[in-house]
Amino acid sequence: MKILLRSARIIAPSSPYHQKKADIFIENGIIKEIGASLKVKDPDREIVLKDLHVSVGWFDSSVTFGEPGYEERETIKNGLDTAALSGFTAIALNPCTNPVIDDNGTVTSILSKAQGHPVNMHPIGALTRNSQGKDLADLYDMSQAGAIAFGDHKQAVMNSNLLKLALQYVQNFGGLVQSFPQDNNIAGKGVINEDENSTRLGLRGIAPLAEEMQIARDLSLLEYTGGKLHIPTISTSGAVKLIKEAKKKGLDVSCSVAIHNLIFSDDVLMEFDTNAKVLPPLRNKKTLKKLQAGLKEGTIDMVTTDHTPIDIEHKKVEFEQALYGTIGLESAFGALLNITSLEETIDYLTRGRSRFGLPVPEIAKGEKANLSLFTPKGKQIFTQENIFSSSRNSLFLEHELTGKVYGIISGNNILIKE
């Protein structure tokens, strides 16, 4: 198959074509030529899009679907289509399915459901059996089947010795352990950030201390054991400080931040919108600035949409009863572009692959096509019409976003909206 992209501005700092407009010719999934006004005989697909920009394909380190077990929230097929139309060529899938992804067979089954799709789906295996925090799951067997990391999604590992054993065990095969940053004993039955707004709303709060105590413990264990640790979705300024200090010590630790925790403060909770009930919770405006600074300086390694589809039956209920989570794939690019430059936005959306042991694509002749297509121009209000997910629980509804995503080209596959 011959694909010809016309007049695309390339955003790829490592490429000699960075910030240049060029045609890109792809044949049988491989980039054959990059240059001005390329002449290609009888292309199967010639793509001309308004103010077209391309970058290497985006990666999201924390995505949740529903299948198996919660197909009413999201299927793998529609979830991957959503990722593609949102500009992502690869995602890491959280293990919170039913059954939980905690053994070789489940990893293999999950991967088979994504076979042939343009978006590469990489399962994260549960750290403990059924994510119950009692016994380690079959980590090595899952790694052999294709799991790229191990963690109990949104479930804190409260047993310190269990986390210690996990960090020691995975060193035998270079595995990456994830530990959700929340001390449940401190968090208690809290549902939002513990601050002035939790008092005003009469809702129980989750103190930043709950996150910071857990991270401090995890980093102490990492210093003792060695190994590789990833802390997903941090949300406090204290967390940034702790991780920065750990990196200075030379500890092999990385972390991510959810895009909504960079954009929204807990002020949006004043209407009791359950789409704003997320975990970790939205913090105050001062914390937003600290998180944004931590990302810009590199202490925070990557952003994630922390995409979590929740069906209406579990969102359209009283705030305290609603499940945590917001979808975020569709709004990721436009939301980041509201607060960062274009080059920073692309940088944040393309970080993370190497940490999870995945190959990093390039825009160069001879390389497999792995491209995100978009324009940074224009403003739009994010509405229900912009949602591709089966579930509609978006915190970004009715908010203005910048730019537009067209879709992706991955190998010989094109998935775009024109």
Query: Which residues are CB-contacts of 14 (< 8 A; sequence separation ≥ 6)?
Result: 362
Active site annotation includes 306: yes
CB 182 within 8 A of CB 152: no
Residue 64: Cβ within 10 Å count: 24
Half-sphere exposure of 411 (CA within 13 A, CB side): 8
Closest C-alpha to 330, from 380, 293, 368: 380
Beta strands in 134-219 (DSSP E): 176-178, 192-193, 205-206
Amino acid code (one letter) for 32:
K
Q: Which one from 60, 138, 152, 306 is the annotated catalytic residue? A: 306
| H/E element, 121 | strand 120-123
Residue 16: cis peptide before it, omega within 30 degrees of 0: no
Geometric angle at alpha carbon 272, from 154 and 330, rounded to 5°: 60
Reduced DSSP (H G I as helix, E B as strand, rest coil) percent helix, strand, coil of the chain, to 5? 35, 25, 45
Q: Which residues are part of the catalytic machinery? A: 306
